[in-house]
Structure 1
Amino acid sequence: MNPEHLAELFPSAVLGRLRELVRIDPSLVVQDFASPDAVAALAEAEILVTGWGCPRLDATVLERAPRLRAVLHAAGSVRSLVSEACWQRGLLVSSAVRANALPVAEYTLAAILLAGKDVLGARERFRAEHRYPPTRDLVGLGNFGRRVGVIGASRVGRRVLELLRPFDLRVALYDPYVDEEQSAELGAVPLSLEGLLRGSDIVTVHAPDIPATYRMLDRERLAMIPDGGVLINTSRGALVDPEALTEELVSGRLSAVLDVTEPEPLPADSPLYRLPNVFLTPHIAGSVGNELERLGRTVVEEVERLVAGALPAYTVREADLAVVA
C-alpha cells in the first residue's frame, strides 16, 4: 500500500492488536513487489494486507508467495488488485468495502438534505444580494415530502436508505437485482430507472462501475430529471455521460453534487469548477483522515477470524465482481 496511509489505517492501538495476532513487520510497507525486501517477505507471507497503491497481484507475484493464503484489503474495491491467478490459487480475499461505505453514505445524506434546502442557490444569492430572501423565493424548498431517487442498492446505497428512514422524504429505488418485497424492506418504492428519474427531485447514484452501468445516465436519461433537479454522484464518473451532464449544468436546468467525475480530476478549464449550481469535491466521500482507522480495524477483525480458523466476514468471490464495484 501507499506508506503514507499506514499510520492512519493502523494507529498504535490497532497495530498493537494486529501484532498480538500475527508476526508482522510494520516497517516494511511496499509498493513494488519486485524489490528485494518485498521478494524476501513474500516468500514467507501467509497473509497479505493491502491498501490503496498496491500493485496488481498477478501470477508473477503469486509465484513469489508460495505460502500465501489470504489477501485482506484495507480499502474498497479489489477489482484492480486481484487477478485471475488469485482465484485459480484459491486465495481468500476480503475487503473493507462495507466500512468504507459508511462515510460515503454520510456524505450523501448531508448532500440530500442540503439540496432539499437549495443551499447552492441560496448561498449564491446571499453572496450577491446580502439580504434574506423574500417568502416567495422560498416556496417549494424544504425536505418535507421531497422525492429522492436512489440508483443502486449497493452497500453504500443500502446505508443511504437506512439513514434516510427518519426523515419525511419519499424515497424510490432502482436496482435490477432487488425485487418489490426487498425494496419495501429497504424503505423505498421500486421503480424503473426511467420512472425514478422522472419522479425524483434529487437523484443519488450508488450503482457499481461495471460494463452494464457505463454511461447509464446518458443524455436521454439526464433529460428525464425534472427542471431544478439535483444529481448526486459519489459512485464513479463513468456512470454519467460527462458531456451531457456538463451541458445540463451549464444551462442551469439541473444542479449537481459531484465527488467523482470523468475524467478525474477534471481538466483545469472545466466549467464545473466555476458553476454556482455545482458542488464539486475531490473524491473525499470515502474514508479519509481519521475514518481510515475503521478500515484498519476491519482488517484486524478479519485476521482474528483467520487465526481462529474461521472464514473472513467480508469475503469477496470471483462471481461478485460481475455485479459489484
Structure 2
Amino acid sequence: MTSSPSYSARRPATVLAMSPGTRTAVLSGRILPKLVRVADLDPELLVSDFGDDDPGLGRRLAEAEVLFTSWGCPPLDAGALERMPRLRAVVHAAGSVKHHVTEACWDRGLLVSSAAIANAVPVAEYTLAAILFSNKRVLESAHAYRSARGPIDLLGCYPAVGNYRRTVGLIGASLIGRRVLELLRPFDLRVLVHDPYADPAEIATLGGEACALDELLSRSDVVSLHAPELPGTRRLLDAARLALMPDGATLINTARGSLVDTAALTEELVTRRLHAVLDHTEPEVLPAGSPLFNLPNVLLTPHVAGSLGGELDRLAATAVAELERYAHGLPFRYPVDPARLAYSA
C-alpha cells in the first residue's frame, strides 16, 4: 500500500502589503493568529509604499518570499520587485488583483492567488435579495405605504408582481454570476445569461439559457450586471440598450458603474419606466443633487454588496488557507490565470 506524499510545513517569509485601515478590518483577532502560525510574519510591519526607504522595511522586503495583500496594496511594478529578489508568490485577501499585480509580476513568474471566490458569496446573496424584492415590488410598495399611512389596494396597485415564472437576465458568467445562478435554482424563475466567453452548454448545466445581450435585455423582468470593467464593457448599457428593457423592468448593478450610461439610466428612472437597484454608479458617489437619491423606484446602496464586517473573515481565511497550501508545497486552490485577466475582473 502506497502512502500519499507528505509535505513538510514551513513558514515562508511573508510581508503584509495593504492600507492600514484594511489591515485593521481584514486581519481580525480571529484571523491574525492563524496567519502568524502559517507564515514568518511581523504583524506590525505593513507596506503601503514600496518606495519607502526605511532600512528595516528594506531588509524585510529583501527576504520576502510571499506578499500577503489586500485593498490598498501599492502597484507591484518592476521597481518594487527589484527590492524583493526572493519573492515567489502573492496571496491576495480580496477580489481583483488588477490594481497591484502588474505585467512585471507575470514576467517574473510569480504565483498569484486571489480570494475572489469568497468575495463572490456576499455579492451573490445581495443580488438574490435584490432580484426577489424587485419582482415583488417591495421598495415601491413600502414607499407607497409610508406615504399613504393607511391601507393600500395591493391587488389593484400591484396586479403583476411576484417571482413566479418571471425572467432574470444575468450579464456575465463570472464567479459572482455563476454563484447567483446557483442561488436561483430553487425558484420558479427563467434565467438568461449573456457572456461572450462562456460555453452555452456549461451555462445550461448551471441552469441558465445562453443568449445574445439585446435578446436578454428585451426578455428580462430583472437584469443583473456581473461583467468586468474593461474598455469593451464601458457603457455597455447605453440609451439604446436600456430602451430595450420592458416597461417596469429592474436593473441591478453590483458590478461597476462604468458599465452603464448614468445619464441615460437617470432619464429612464425619472420617467418611472424602469426600476433600479444600484450598488455601483458612475461617479461612484453621485452628486448630492442627483434625482436618484429620492426616486421611489430606485434603491441606492453605498458599495455594500461586497464583503463587509464579519464577511471579511471569509476573505482572510480563504487567503490564509492558500498561504498554508503554499507552505506545504501544494498548488493554490484559487490561482489567478494571467491569460484570463484580459476579460475578467
TM bin, normalised by shorter chain, reads over 0.9
> Is 1:93 equivalent to 2:105 in the alignment?
no
Q: Give the corresponding residue for 2:141.
A: 122
- Name the CA distance, whole Å, in 2 between partners of 1:302 and 1:148: 35
- Name the CA distance, whole Å, in 1 between partners of 2:268 and 2:61: 51
> Is 1:251 equivalent to 2:251 in the alignment?
no
- Name the CA distance, whole Å, in 2 between partners of 1:137 and 1:13: 50
CA contact (8 A) 1:234 1:260 kept: yes
- 3-state SS in 1 of match to 2:240: helix
- Name the CA distance, whole Å, in 1 between partners of 2:57 and 2:120: 31
- Name the CA distance, whole Å, in 2 between partners of 1:45 and 1:285: 34
Q: Give the corresponding residue for 1:77.
A: 96
**Cα RMSD over matched residues?**
1.2
Of all paired residues, the percent bearing the same amino acid is 56
Q: CA deviation at 1:5?
A: 2.5
- Name the CA distance, whole Å, in 2 between partners of 1:163 and 1:61: 41
Once the two structures are overlaid, the 10-residue window that deviates more, 15-24 or 241-250, is 15-24
CA contact (8 A) 1:162 1:186 kept: yes
Counting only pairs closer than 5 Å after superposition, residues 172-251 of structure 1 correspond to structure 2 as: 172-251=192-271
Q: CA deviation at 1:225?
A: 0.4
Counting only pairs closer than 5 Å after superposition, residues 126-145 of structure 1 correspond to structure 2 as: 126-134=145-153, 135-145=155-165
Once the two structures are overlaid, the 10-residue window that deviates more, 45-54 or 263-272, is 263-272
- Name the CA distance, whole Å, in 2 between partners of 1:31 and 1:18: 19
- Name the CA distance, whole Å, in 1 between partners of 2:302 and 2:308: 11
Amino acid at match of 1:200: S
Q: CA deviation at 1:128?
A: 1.1
Amino acid at match of 1:125: A
User: Gaps (5+ residues) in structure 1?
Assistant: none
Q: Give the corresponding residue for 1:16.
A: 33
Q: Give the corresponding residue for 1:157.
A: 177
Once the two structures are overlaid, the 10-residue window that deviates more, 308-317 or 161-170, is 308-317
Amino acid at match of 2:139: L
- 3-state SS in 2 of match to 1:253: coil
Q: Give the corresponding residue for 2:48.
A: 31
Amino acid at match of 1:3: P
Residues 81-121 of structure 1, C-alpha deviations (whole Å, 9 max, x = no match): 11111111111111111100100000000000100111121
Q: CA deviation at 1:6?
A: 2.2
- 3-state SS in 1 of match to 2:251: strand
User: Gaps (5+ residues) in structure 2?
Assistant: 1-17
- 3-state SS in 2 of match to 1:25: strand
Q: CA deviation at 1:8?
A: 3.6
Once the two structures are overlaid, the 10-residue window that deviates more, 199-208 or 13-22, is 13-22
Residues 18-55 of structure 1, C-alpha deviations (whole Å, 9 max, x = no match): 22222101111221122214323211111001111111
Q: Which one of the candidate residues 174, 178, 186 is aligned to 1:166?
A: 186
- Name the CA distance, whole Å, in 1 between partners of 2:271 and 2:236: 21
Amino acid at match of 1:115: S
CA contact (8 A) 1:8 1:290 kept: no
Q: Which one of the candidate residues 290, 295, 298 is aligned to 2:318?
A: 298
Amino acid at match of 2:297: N
TM-score (norm 2): 0.91
Once the two structures are overlaid, the 10-residue window that deviates more, 75-84 or 31-40, is 31-40
After superposition, the Cα gap between the structure-2 partners of 1:218 and 1:136, relative to the gap in structure 1 and judged at 3 Å, is same
CA contact (8 A) 2:22 2:72 kept: no
Q: Which one of the candidate residues 77, 87, 90 is aligned to 1:68?
A: 87
Q: Which one of the candidate residues 256, 263, 282 is aligned to 2:283?
A: 263
- 3-state SS in 2 of match to 1:111: helix
> Is 1:47 equivalent to 2:66 in the alignment?
yes
Q: CA deviation at 1:131?
A: 2.4
- Name the CA distance, whole Å, in 1 between partners of 2:147 and 2:288: 25
- Name the CA distance, whole Å, in 2 between partners of 1:220 and 1:282: 27
Q: CA deviation at 1:139?
A: 0.8
TM-score (norm 1): 0.97
Q: Give the corresponding residue for 1:318.
A: 338
Residues 259-280 of structure 1, C-alpha deviations (whole Å, 9 max, x = no match): 0011111122222112221100
CA contact (8 A) 2:87 2:110 kept: yes
- Name the CA distance, whole Å, in 1 between partners of 2:29 and 2:146: 45
Amino acid at match of 1:111: A
